[in-house]
Structure 1
């Protein structure tokens, strides 16, 4: 079920309605270790979460339904293909008598954008269903469904900064400081499968040497300064940036625009793109940078805030 228009996500909710935010995921680093023989890619990525989010609500009931609202609702495509419903159905197969109901997704994050919007929505759905059914967030069935729904859903389930390895199933929490940032998407979609195809790894091929695999990056300890973290991020990379840029050259323009702002310490693409980010010393500089980019590129999606 889809809605025909937009609604105010801040409107007063019914007493029975449960609400969760699906926060944007940002890959501060992303190293592709190699391609496994099953075709999946092993990754190592530092992931943080932004203070911009889709909003998902649930009114518990007998029939599973989904309505979409918000400025980017149409970009969601066919509701029947939405990961919110996929996750709900998979959980229903594992939890007898699972109480579902009517979901409403207020969509503000760009899709196919390298910030895990669909995965964040699916994770929010699992958190809502856990609340509605008295399930613990670390219930094995919930974790299994997160993995089956999509590679980024497990990390979005907790929505906590971490080092993500493997195909997204291994998570090591990190204690990051607040990172003032600007996120920019040029409003072009990039299919993750196309970016990995452009990377060109054969099954069983390693992108990095065995020594590099064994000597993983050592990240700053809890309490380290913002400068220390940015220096560590800068020493790493996003291995998908170059292949994504070949598919969508505008990604290079976005990174250049971010680098041209005053106070940008590090500018890079997130995930498989096309969203890019820059980190700043404080939120004032980030806000000024965002305003400049909005003036220069009014057609782009721009968010100034923090990562954590």
Structure 2
């Protein structure tokens, strides 16, 4: 049995440059990862079986008629499983369990991280190198965030966000994720982007680039869910905060802190609002 983490993804900065002819948007983004998130377990089995448990399982599971924790085959995990078998010509069946600790439609990887973890786990179970280009080719077909989640390392993403150059810096920095209890549609957020190119990411070290950057999707996401602004304001005002911003297309906001005590104090303030929090560190 393989146990594979699916850590939360954050966008330290996310610049939307223009809409591409293929319908995607040209992006420049700084991907980074937490040390915590969802968890996958994968093993060989006589028949395919995919179950979900954890605090956010109900957002993904089907009706009880199909059995507790059962899900339909349109989940990114099952899509990754099936694409893996096709790409590698493997005729095996798998039991997969996803412990869903991260909220859904939250801008922190979610399904993309789970799909990437599925690919890594299946590769490890089958003795396939994680650097095998076929894994990355599969990831690219599953969504723009799956390739960065597959490598799971801090990186500059360009193009659709899946042209990746790995970066270093900020590992071990205290990190707090806050979701104010709402999910927003990525498609609706991108549809609300005003189309203005506000410029490229700057140079410098990772923190300098992140601090000088922005998230061009924060305004349209906040228009859809105004409570995002409240979560960002709480983090902006937190003592010891180094950088705070909305991640991805929302609605989760994050902050980096000078020390874990400051992070935990901010988490307590967010908890008091009834919001979901994850006190963790940068990977």
Unaligned 5+ residue runs, structure 2?
63-70
Deviation at 1:168, TM superposition (A): 2.5
Residue number in structure 2 paired with 1:305: 280
1:95 maps to 2:95? no
Gaps of 5+ in 1: 1-16, 202-206, 221-228
User: Superposition pairs for residues 110-259 of structure 1, below 5 Å?
Assistant: 110-177=103-170, 178-201=172-195, 207-208=196-197, 212=199, 216-220=201-205, 229-259=206-236
**Large movers: runs of 4+ above 6 Å:** none
- 1:278 Cα shift? 1.2
Q: Does structure 1 residue 68 correspond to structure 2 residue 57?
A: no
The equivalent of 1:48 in structure 2 is 32
CA distance in 2, matches of 1:134, 1:98: 15
1:152-180: per-residue Cα shift (whole Å, max 9, x none)?
A: 11001111111111112211111112321
Out of 230-239 and 183-192, give the one that drifted further: 230-239
RMSD between superposed Cα atoms in Å: 1.6
Change in 2 beyond 3 A, CA 1:31/1:95: same
Whole-angstrom distance in 2 between the partners of 1:102 and 1:151: 26
Alignment of 1:8-27 (within 5 A): 17-27=1-11
Once the two structures are TM-superposed, the CA of residue 128 in structure 1 deviates from its matched residue by: 0.8
How far did 1:100 drift? 3.8
Greater Cα offset, 53-62 or 273-282: 53-62
Distance in 1, matches of 2:183 and 2:40, equals: 22
Count of aligned pairs between the two proteins: 273
Query: Residues of 1 paired with 2:248 and 2:41: CA distance?
Result: 26
Structure 2 length as normaliser, TM-score? 0.92
Return the TM-score normalized by structure 1: 0.85
Report the CA distance between 1:263 and its aligned residue.
Answer: 1.6
CA distance in 1, matches of 2:118, 2:4: 8
Q: Is the 8 A contact 1:269 1:277 kept in 2?
A: yes
In structure 2, the residue matched to 1:260 is 237
Shift of 1:292: 2.1
Q: Does 1:105 align with 2:98?
A: yes
